[in-house]
Amino acid sequence: MEASLVDYHVADAWDEIVDTDGSIRPAYREVVDSLRSMRGEDLRGRAEQLARTFTERGVTYAYGGVERPFPLDPVPRIIEAAEWAQLSAGVIQRVRALECFLNDAYTEGVVFNEGIIPRRLITSSPEFNRAAVGITPPNGVRIQVAGIDVIRDERGGLRVLEDNVRIPSGVSYVMENRRAMTRTLSGLFSGRSVLPVDLYPQRLLNALKQAAPVGVHDPVIAVLTPGVHNAAYFEHSLLARRMGIELVEGRDLVCHSNKLYMRTTSGEARVDVIYRRVDDGFLDPLHGNPSSLIGVAGLFNAARAGNVTIANAVGNGIADDKLMYTYVPDLIRFFLDEEPILDNVETHRLEDRDVLIEVAADIGNYVIKPVDGAGGAGIVIGPQADDETLAATREAIIAAPRRFIAQRVVAISTHPTLIEGNLAPRHIDLRPFCVNDGNSVWVLPGGLTRVALPEGALVVNSSQGGGSKDTWVIADHGPGDSAISTPTPWRAVPETVRQDGPSSLNRSDQQ
């Protein structure tokens, strides 16, 4: 048997490889030829080898309490240079707008005064963190790392599905996928100039250095992890290792006199910047969950005193709330005076009574998402849900319209994926990762393509039993050429006001 697309039946969605007329899309021709030259068993063998490599390296994700490898599909996802240029410009634009919004929301609140966004949207968000109000990011950056989830709709257009500006995870799989692919399926790469993905740790380290408290030139930086039992522990340790910085847990840290220290074999050592992978609510038991054992008491005060920088900033959750998502195009227009490069998926705000009535009546034809759900939890896909679920969801949205949004059901694009030895269409999404060092927003070429492995499943998430694909951005010119991701100079706060902390934005520039 041959690993081919002969028996491949395109599902009712845009297929990334097979065009509507059955031909192979140009970007994929060489890879499909390479795959054709492999026998079915060979491809399966390679797929097994990929899984084994991951198990050995401990590239795992805890799913349902069990540590298991995050399945890597051997068929790569390819993005051509021109499309990538547009996509990366679009996500950079979003991150810039969200930085402006966060800075404004925690200071002047111009965006509310101008009526762009209703103020109650923020005050009603559980993610609004009063403790964050007094914390001034030293270089004006609140979003050191962002993951902007993008999907392709039925007509092939890219749309943003959600923004993640708290603690987006998954970048380790991007690096590990590439490592495994180049070792196991090197033949697929021959002759292609695929942009490298291993620059990420250096970019992140630089962004963390730039975020150091004022006056600290050679900051001590640490990654804060909830511990080995966290689903993304592998990623925390990989990033710490690749950046050459300490991986700490709450119990390794102690605050006194508004300074943060880690306990080392030679006593306590100051920590200047903390790249935390712990949720806001657990970071500091004095402010959030008082029983949290994974945080460190006094951290927020130390940050407010300007002695330590917390990255990403505390309180970013108001910007990636899914109701806020519906306003991001307005934020782009307001703060940047630009038109959005990437569209949202059509989304309905249920706080509008007429909209609520309409959606409630026709709930089977919408996707209902909790505004603060992470990892695909709580999402109800109308057409795939049973009557009982729909009835419960209808009740829930009527009881608390602020807690949900309704979206059009998008048949997100499919990609041929190796399922039990044969290629079958599976729905995919893409999470490009952005790093903001205050001078520019940089996008890691590619990002994490996640695959929903159950047939027909539309929720693509590593915590929902998904897999992933190596994601290739093809260079315009030659290998190693990264000209197409030239960063756009950017800082949320003008350099001149940096010493005094962020002031209001210069409004005359905005309109």
The site for other proteins (CB under 8 A) is made up of 55-58, 218, 220, 223, 227-228, 233, 237, 240-241, 246-249, 251-252, 254-258, 262-269, 297-298, 301, 305
Task: Compute the least distance from the CB of residue 360 to other proteins, in Å.
Answer: 48
Task: Compute the least distance from the CB of residue 465 to other proteins, in Å.
Answer: 21
CA distance 348 to 149: 19
CB 208 within 8 A of CB 139: no
Which string of DSSP letters, residue by residue, matches 308-342?
A: -EEESPTTTHHHH-HHHHTTHHHHIIIII----SS
Give the strand pairing for 347-349 and 404-408. antiparallel
| Residue (53 or 93) nearer to other proteins, CB | 53
| Residue (30 or 268) nearer to other proteins, CB | 268
Report in angstroms the alpha-carbon separations of 289 from 252, 277, 286, 318, 417: 19, 16, 8, 18, 42
CA distance 134 to 397: 34
Task: Compute the least distance from the CB of residue 274 to other proteins, in Å.
Answer: 14
Task: Compute the least distance from the CB of residue 263 to other proteins, in Å.
Answer: 4
Task: Compute the least distance from the CB of residue 83 to other proteins, in Å.
Answer: 34
Task: Compute the least distance from the CB of residue 298 to other proteins, in Å.
Answer: 6
CB 308 within 8 A of CB 259: yes
End-to-end Cα separation, the chain, in angstroms: 63
| Residue (254 or 379) nearer to other proteins, CB | 254
CA distance 95 to 110: 19
Backbone angles phi, psi at 203, to 5 degrees: -60, -45
| Residue (256 or 408) nearer to other proteins, CB | 256
Phi-psi region of 501 (alpha: psi -120 to 50; beta: other; left: phi over 0): left
| Residue (39 or 241) nearer to other proteins, CB | 241
Task: Compute the least distance from the CB of residue 305 to other proteins, in Å.
Answer: 8
Task: Compute the least distance from the CB of residue 218 to other proteins, in Å.
Answer: 7
| Residue (277 or 348) nearer to other proteins, CB | 277
Closest Cα partner for 114 from 104, 99, 106, 123?
104
| Residue (153 or 249) nearer to other proteins, CB | 249
Backbone angles phi, psi at 275, to 5 degrees: -90, 100
- Name the residue type at position 156: G
| Residue (162 or 235) nearer to other proteins, CB | 235
Tracing tokens 């068929």 back to the chain, one arrives at 75
Task: Compute the least distance from the CB of residue 221 to other proteins, in Å.
Answer: 12
Q: Tell me the β-bridge partners of 430.
A: 150, 449
| Residue (268 or 351) nearer to other proteins, CB | 268
Report in angstroms the alpha-carbon separations of 167 from 317, 320, 509: 10, 11, 31
Dihedral (CA of 317, 319, 320, 326) sign: positive
Task: Compute the least distance from the CB of residue 320 to other proteins, in Å.
Answer: 28
The token pair that represents 399 in the structure block: 């009881």
The token pair that represents 71 in the structure block: 């399945």
CB 272 within 8 A of CB 305: no
The token pair that represents 359 in the structure block: 């959606």
| Residue (301 or 485) nearer to other proteins, CB | 301
